[in-house]
């Protein structure tokens, strides 16, 4: 069967399937120097690429717990247009200051948006050839739409491959099977194997993942991207079913430098296992509540997330003593010691979304953001020179290390900051500030709801909803508008669960951002 025939058959069958900082509302003043990215693409890190589990629970009318909200995944669903990438290296660093009364309680909040972007033309960027093992769950629960979408997604991916790429296809149910090994994307055997993927049997995650790693490692080449992409819609029911043993097996390959991306489809897969596997393997994790999204994800992996931009990335932040560094949000490997922060990122890739309005296939791939939370120290004067960021990374081709420094400064006299209106370096830092407030509001509300305080959770979201709605009146933004939809959905679910629809209770302690230290 030709690829065209298979595509037509699939198309016909598918057609028949039918706590941080913020703003208390109002418009924030912004000296807009970064509303357009000047042709610069964002640089994204691995880890969660969406917050699909949290959204799915809300859409089902339920109340999500705090464990379902991931800051990396949440921030990655937001596209931030940074100032133009004009630095000498491939990756440019920005430290963008924002300060205003927060959107939850109104107390002072300071953020620094750590932005990363590049002036590289993606069309001119040469990526290393792939040694890619695709491990596909073909258990009985994948029958119907999920498997249809997987086959179509794999076929779309073939069109994005280069002639030098090599693909291994493994499917697993009760046992694992090698469908093709180390073939080109145009090999008729691979196209035929994709068409033969069919759902039946149990779910032997260990056997499928081990087989994929073994075959990828057998052909590993330092001149290639050596990676496994693992897709499943369930939990382990066959073979070795212990998560710890599955993680230990995968960790051995991860320690050899082999990457792993995980894709969870539907509502019943092992979220904790799939997320941990991806973080361990310096890859992306996707929670796809809509099986149709898998079509886009396979292409994203080849065209964006597998294009290496920088390796062995470290970012340090040093803040002057007039402020205190409270936390770092939006990255997994970070530490804070006093006023010194350190961030480690195994690798950076080009972000998938090029503009805020580029969301036809979902909000994933915005590039995300890393946000520092600062507090003014009691008794200390405010100063304009807030601190310094340093970036160090290894170039993926010549393996030379590159360093860059970015100052963190306020743009107005600190004594003239109006917390009601706020002050931001540009629209980029303002959006980052709002994102963090929404994330913290979600986290606080989910935590209180899990503790049985439904009225307290509703009280938090009630103030947040009004503040975000007010901000959007002067700052239209698709990502934040979509966030607002889920804030309101969360509120409706709390009311349905018995929370007072018009609570008259004080804001639950503690404050999201205490005033001073």
Q: Residue 506's pLDDT is what?
A: 54
Tell me how many degrees the CA angle 338-340-341 measures, rounded to the nearest 5: 115
Tell which residue, 449, 444, 441, 447, has the closest CA to residue 484: 441
* Beta strands 333-337 and 340-350, pairing class: antiparallel
Here the tokens at position 347 are 């690798």
**Tokens 């890393």 sit at which residue?**
370
Q: Residue 171's pLDDT is what?
A: 96
pLDDT profile of the chain (517 residues), mean per 10 = 38 34 34 45 72 89 92 88 89 92 87 90 74 95 90 89 94 96 95 94 95 96 90 91 93 89 86 86 79 79 70 94 92 92 86 61 65 85 89 87 93 65 86 94 95 92 94 94 96 93 54 64
d(CA 474, CA 129): 46
Q: Residue 489's pLDDT is what?
A: 97
d(CA 416, CA 96): 18
Task: Give the E-state strand segments of 204-339 in sequence order.
Answer: 225-232, 259-265, 284-288, 308-319, 323-329, 333-337
d(CA 401, CA 342): 17
Q: Residue 9's pLDDT is what?
A: 39
Residue 63 CB: number of other CB atoms within 10 A? 18
pLDDT digits (tens, 9 = 90+) for 44-89: 776 666 788 899 899 999 999 998 888 888 988 888 888 999 898 8
Q: Residue 275's pLDDT is what?
A: 85
Q: Residue 339's pLDDT is what?
A: 96
Q: Please state whether the predicted TM-score (pTM) of the whole model is above 0.75.
A: yes
Q: Say which DSSP state 352 is in.
A: S
**Can the peptide bond before residue 198 be classed as cis, meaning omega within 30 degrees of 0?**
no
Q: Residue 464's pLDDT is what?
A: 94
User: What are the chain's domains?
Assistant: 41-119+323-358+365-496 (no CATH), 128-306 (3.40.50.410)
- Dihedral (Cα; 141, 143, 146, 148), 10-degree rounding: 160
Q: Residue 30's pLDDT is what?
A: 33
Contact 103, 467 (CB under 8 A): yes
Here the tokens at position 458 are 């509703």
Here the tokens at position 320 are 């002057």
């Amino acid at each position: 069967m030709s690829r065209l025939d298979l595509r037509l058959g699939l198309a016909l069958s598918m057609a028949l399937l039918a706590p941080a900082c913020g703003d208390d509302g109002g418009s924030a003043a912004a000296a807009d120097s970064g509303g357009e990215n000047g042709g610069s693409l964002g640089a994204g890190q691995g880890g969660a690429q969406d917050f699909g589990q949290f959204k799915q629970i809300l859409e089902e009318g339920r109340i999500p717990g705090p464990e379902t909200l991931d800051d990396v995944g949440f921030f990655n669903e937001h596209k931030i247009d940074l100032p133009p990438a004009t630095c000498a290296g491939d990756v440019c660093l920005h430290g963008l200051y924002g300060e205003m009364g927060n959107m939850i309680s109104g107390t002072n909040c300071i953020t620094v948006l750590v932005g990363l972007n590049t002036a590289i033309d993606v069309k001119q960027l040469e990526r290393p050839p792939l040694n890619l093992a695709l491990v596909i769950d073909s258990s009985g629960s994948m029958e119907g739409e999920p498997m249809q979408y997987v086959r179509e997604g794999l076929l779309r991916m073939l069109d994005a491959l280069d002639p030098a790429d090599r693909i291994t296809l493994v499917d697993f149910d009760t046992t694992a099977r090698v469908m093709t090994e180390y073939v080109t994307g145009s090999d008729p055997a691979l196209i035929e194997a994709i068409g033969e993927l069919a759902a039946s049997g149990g779910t032997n995650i260990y056997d499928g993942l081990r087989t994929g790693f073994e075959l990828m490692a057998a052909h590993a080449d330092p001149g290639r991207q050596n990676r496994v992409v693992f897709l499943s819609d369930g939990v382990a029911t066959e073979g070795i079913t212990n998560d710890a043993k599955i993680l230990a097996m995968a960790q051995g390959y991860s320690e050899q430098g082999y990457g792993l991306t995980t894709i969870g489809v539907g509502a019943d897969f092992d979220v904790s296992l799939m997320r941990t596997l991806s973080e361990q393997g310096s890859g992306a994790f996707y929670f796809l509540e809509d099986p149709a999204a898998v079509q886009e994800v396979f292409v994203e992996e080849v065209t964006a997330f597998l294009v290496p931009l920088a390796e062995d990335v470290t970012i340090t932040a040093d803040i002057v003593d007039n402020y205190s560094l409270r936390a770092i949000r939006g990255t997994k490997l970070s530490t804070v010691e006093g006023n010194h922060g350190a961030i480690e990122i195994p690798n950076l890739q080009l972000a998938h979304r090029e503009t805020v309005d580029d969301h036809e296939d979902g909000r994933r791939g915005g590039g995300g953001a890393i946000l520092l939370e600062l507090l003014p120290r009691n008794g200390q004067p405010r100063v304009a020179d807030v601190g310094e960021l340093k970036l160090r990374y290894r170039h993926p081709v010549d393996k030379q290390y590159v360093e860059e420094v970015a100052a963190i400064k306020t743009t107005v006299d600190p004594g003239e900051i109006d917390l009601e209106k706020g002050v931001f370096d540009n629209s980029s830092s303002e959006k980052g500030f709002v994102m963090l407030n929404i994330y913290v509001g979600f986290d606080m509300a989910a935590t209180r709801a899990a503790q049985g305080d439904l009225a307290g959770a509703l009280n938090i979201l009630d103030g947040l909803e009004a503040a975000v709605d007010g901000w959007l009146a002067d700052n239209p933004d698709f990502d934040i508008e979509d966030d607002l939809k889920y804030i309101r959905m969360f509120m409706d679910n709390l009311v349905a669960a018995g929370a007072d629809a018009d609570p008259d209770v004080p804001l639950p302690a503690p404050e999201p951002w205490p005033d001073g230290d």
